[in-house]
A and B are shown apart, each in its own frame.
Chain A
Amino acid sequence: MRPLSSLALNLFKSYYRRTYVPPPSHLEKREYGFQLFGVQGMLRHISFGNGNELNEFLRSRVPQHAYYSTALYESPSAPEMSGKGWLGAELVFDIDIDHVDTPCKELHDTWKCKNCGAEGRGQPRACPVCGSENLERKSWVCDICINSARDEALKLLDLLENDFGVSRNEVAITFSGHRGFHIHVQREDFMSLDQDARREISDYVRGLGLEPELMLRRSKGGLYAFRYDAETPGWPGRIARYAALLLSERIAGSGLPELPKAEWEDLIKTAVNELSAKIDEKVTIDVHRLIRLPGTLHGKTGLKVLELTASELEALTAEDILKKAIVFGDEEVRVRMRKLPSRVLLYTIESDSDVVNVPLHLALYLHLNGGAEVLR
């Protein structure tokens, strides 16, 4: 173990010693999973009878990563899924901006092609040199990333409220401690939804499977009219409002203009791309998922997995969120690392050297995620 590794362990230890992690609802019916420092693989099928047992575990084992199941089980610690007795699962959405193009990725993400050895910055889909998709990636989080994740989360909250009738006080929001947010819908009546149902909900918020043709009506002269107006609920109205905005110069009188079919189809596609929430559908569909436990630390960043209300998410800036999630001090630490990200957390690192002085919480992040060595 390198010096900071024991420091990381000690920092995590100090955190769990001074913190009481609030037990999640139905604590005793959930499965927990942990990854310990320096140990491969995950400890799974763990259960706790009460909040003290959970906190005692965190204090004594000091996990690097801590997860809990979105599902409730009769016997959460049964080693096989078939023996657990599934009782239902929360409806959960994971907003992760890994799949969203943000301008900051050029500033902090790096890749190396395992096929041809080329390397560079940003997050290309495939190696620009040889075309291989087999890339080793290193990604970092900064306030710009969190801002775009926050935008996606707000779009999702709007869809949940207006379309699905889930009010803002029925959702629990978690900053994942890395590049996104988890949105847990706290409605007992959704717990029994099966995977098909969850896929339909996930497709809906992503605007997937939306067929422009169904929203159009053939009109005179080979032109097409949009069937719905801005007052229509759901996707049709959302698209109508977006179209009215884009076409504002061409609207004469009331209502949207008639256009050639291809133009409508492009416009609808753009609207859906703009207005849909970029979620990771796997998390929503999986009814046995383990997800980060709020109040614990993210093992790649050292940031706190932070619970937020909907109004906090709206009111707080990315900077506020990061500040709330930083739980370690800012005493200066000297670290050495190759390919330092130039934008990370709240900081801009402008250094040609591999050696920099940074606050302790950033040093921890650089170490956990980038293998930085601590020098002092």
Chain B
Amino acid sequence: MSATQLRVVLTPEDFSRYPFVPEALSSLRELELTLEDIASTPLGNLILEKARERLLKAVEGEKLPSPEEDYMLEVAVFYTTLLILAGVGDDRLTEKFSTLYAKAVYEFLLKDLEKGSRDKLLYLAVKVLGWDVRPVDPNVLIHFKYFVSAQPEFTGEWKLTNRVLEKGYVRVSWRELARLLETGVKKYVISLVQRAEVSGNIPEGVYRVVEEVSRAWSARQQDIRSVARDISSRRGEEALPPCIRELLHQQLSGKNLPHSARFALASFLLNIGFSVEETLEVFRHSPDFREDIARYQVEHIAGLRGSRVKYLPYKCDNMRSYGLCRWSCEGVKHPLQYFYRALRGRRVKVKELW
């Protein structure tokens, strides 16, 4: 569907839920608010305080507060948050915030779907993200290049191989489109932070918030580093195959890993002797960590729940096909095999494939 064919009337409520759409930004321009104002006027201070609150939540990995009902205020808070993120300049924090933010957007999209307003989803896909998406009752067709850039998983029903693909288009349900949009919005928000530029000096008041968020974030990173040190000192990181080492680093740096990656890492750690508590400690740094859900999943993998089977990590072939491994370890067909060889003091030749 081309952008010109699509006419959607956005309400103030939409601007408040989706403040990243270009039309919302132009409403901010109408407000003629400058950075100096944010630092020095009462309204500005309110905006700054709300942005600060959101970012401190993101640092702790907690759910972000609901958007402001006054859409003008929401848009201002949203862009101020991005400016502060750009000031902090830490890709991992930006990723963390964007992940949490996009999850909230996903919830709103589902609500829109329940109300039958599919055009909101189309609007975000086509006008904001520039995707080639065509509604074909009762489904949606999306060009595969946008599908593969936003699919949340590389296994099961999400895997392209398991989809109906015709002449370049993947058939998806509206709910699936909402999930694809979650990833799309996350990447879009990251790109907004990367493009954010502040002309002139950052006013003192705003700068104080940048500093406070940076401090809180690096304190959080200290905790993470101590977990990493713990793993290294106990087992010796050299004993981990390159795929698991990479997943562990990404996990500890707060990257939002897909489900398959978390399964691979958790099952590996549990199999080399980590307890459920120790494994949970590693996952505590996920941008979307929720203790109850994570504990249930880790206990399940450990064989303490459900089928009572202790799961093994994927074998190497599957790790590669799920995009979790880009190496070839000589004579090794399973990540655990690498670990046991390394423990016996045998060196494994590793080649990077791509």
Contact = CB atoms under 8 A, between A and B. Distances in A.
Contact of B164 (A189, A203, A209, A232): A232
B18 interface: no
A234 interface: yes
Given A133-B331, A200-B151, A209-B321, A233 B164 contact: yes
Contact of B167 (A162, A194, A204, A209): A162
A210 B166 contact: no
B155 interface: yes
A209 B353 contact: no
Given A189-B145, A193-B145, A282-B353, A209 B159 contact: yes
A360 interface: no
B161 A207 contact: yes
Interface in B130-178: 144-145, 148-149, 151, 154-157, 159-169
Contacts of B154: 196, 199-200, 209
B323 interface: yes
A193 B147 CA distance: 11
Contact of A211 (B151, B156, B160): B156
A286 B155 contact: no
A211 B154 CA distance: 12
Contact-residue size bin, chain B (C-beta under 8 Å from the other chain): 20 to 34
Contacts of A166: 168
A166 B145 CA distance: 12
Contacts of A228: 164
B235 to A, nearest CB: 29
Contacts, number: 93
Contacts of A193: 145, 148-149
Contacts of B166: 162-163, 165, 233-234
A97 B9 CA distance: 56
A203 B165 contact: no
A214 interface: yes
Contact of A195 (B159, B164, B169, B354): B354
Nearest to B151: A200
A15 B323 CA distance: 43
A214 B156 CA distance: 8
A104 B134 CA distance: 48
A164 B160 CA distance: 11
Given A163-B165, A164-B165, A200 B148 contact: yes
A201 B148 contact: yes
A287 to B, nearest CB: 8
Interface of A: 133, 162-166, 189-190, 193-197, 199-201, 203-204, 207-211, 214, 228, 232-236, 282, 285-287
Given A201-B144, A208-B321, A233-B165, 18 more contacts: A162-B166, A163-B167, A164-B168, A165-B166, A195-B326, A196-B154, A196-B323, A199-B154, A199-B323, A200-B148, A200-B160, A203-B161, A209-B162, A211-B156, A214-B156, A228-B164, A285-B353, A285-B354
